[in-house]
Amino acid sequence: MGNFFYYFCRELTGGLPRLGSRTYYDGMDLVPKTGPGLVISNHISHFDPSFMMAKFPRIVHFMADKPLLEIPIFGKMLEWGHVFAIDRTKSDRAALRTAMARLEAGNMVGIFPEKGIRHGKTSVLGGAELAIGTASLWKMMDVPVIPMVIIGSDQMYEWTNYFRRPRIFVRTGKPLLPDKAASREELRDRIVASWRELYEGLIRDYKIRPDELPQSAQERWGKPAPVQPEG
């Protein structure tokens, strides 16, 4: 049942946006065919998971904010589709135990380590610092990290874009191997360097325009951008 609801939720949340866009995928052949791994991606819109997973060769068990799984019916379907909750208002040890258990079972676990949707200067890709907790998690779990960057999915907040089919880009990088000898700071820097390399490569290879770069939903609607927390 879990796999059915995984694909069902992917299509329910992303089927129409994907039909209304042109998506370019790179690097999916780099994903290990077996074994555990942490999929670590930037986060620019609510549409990200369905775009990311459309061509991803493995099922991913996503860690998601607790309020999302508390939505009646939809939250239960997400749970059946391998999504599990993290309570970001506290140090959620239960979520970490769940992630560890799923990795030990050989699964891919997906996280958005920027603690919410980020764009501009509040995003790691825009120069913000990645929280050290992500590196701590990687060091503790001792599995490969699969870095991923998505650009353009926030364009789907504007309904008129569904008719002009904007470009969206998803790129996966080479797996980052675990390294117990490395410090948390070194591991964090490796994630950030990989993300920024993927981001700059996409901009260069596809000649991505400024209007295609991440913006808030409010900016896509022609309104002022919301104030985002740092970090």
Predicted confidence (pLDDT) per residue in 53-70, tens digit = 899 999 999 998 888 889
Indicate the pTM of the whole model: 0.91
Contact assessment for residue 72 and residue 181, using Cβ atoms and an 8 Å cutoff = no
Please tell me the distance from the alpha carbon of residue 61 to that of residue 146, in angstroms, as a whole number. 13
166-182 confidence digits (pLDDT tens): 999 999 999 999 999 99
The DSSP-derived string for 90-110 is S--HHHHHHHHHHHHTT-EEE
Superfamily of domain 2-220: Glycerol-3-phosphate (1)-acyltransferase (3.40.1130.10)
Give yes or no for residue 2 having a pLDDT over 80: no
Please tell me the distance from the alpha carbon of residue 167 to that of residue 39, in angstroms, as a whole number. 23
pLDDT at residue 74, as a whole number: 83
Residue 166, CA distances (Å) to 63, 133, 139, 198 in order? 28, 34, 38, 20
Contact assessment for residue 194 and residue 200, using Cβ atoms and an 8 Å cutoff = no
Please tell me the distance from the alpha carbon of residue 132 to that of residue 125, in angstroms, as a whole number. 16
Please tell me the distance from the alpha carbon of residue 185 to that of residue 219, in angstroms, as a whole number. 34
pLDDT at residue 38, as a whole number: 96
Residues 6+ apart with CB under 8 A from 174: 27, 30, 147, 194
Please tell me the distance from the alpha carbon of residue 95 to that of residue 91, in angstroms, as a whole number. 9
Neighbours of 130 (CB within 10 A): 18
Give the relative orientation of helices 93-104 and 132-141 as an angle to the nearest 10 degrees. Answer: 40
Please tell me the distance from the alpha carbon of residue 37 to that of residue 110, in angstroms, as a whole number. 8
Please tell me the distance from the alpha carbon of residue 105 to that of residue 109, in angstroms, as a whole number. 11
Q: How many CA atoms lie within 13 A of 153 on its CB side?
A: 28
pLDDT at residue 222, as a whole number: 87
Give the relative orientation of helices 132-141 and 184-206 as an angle to the nearest 10 degrees. Answer: 110
pLDDT at residue 77, as a whole number: 84
pLDDT at residue 184, as a whole number: 94
pLDDT at residue 229, as a whole number: 60
Please give the average per-residue pLDDT across 134-161, as a whole number.
94
Give yes or no for residue 151 having a pLDDT over 60: yes
76-95 confidence digits (pLDDT tens): 888 888 999 888 777 778 88
Better pLDDT: 95 or 23: 23
Buried b or exposed e, range 93-106, using 16+ CB within 10 angstroms:
eebbebbbebbeee
pLDDT at residue 226, as a whole number: 78
Please give the average per-residue pLDDT across 112-126, as a whole number.
91
Give yes or no for residue 203 having a pLDDT over 90: yes
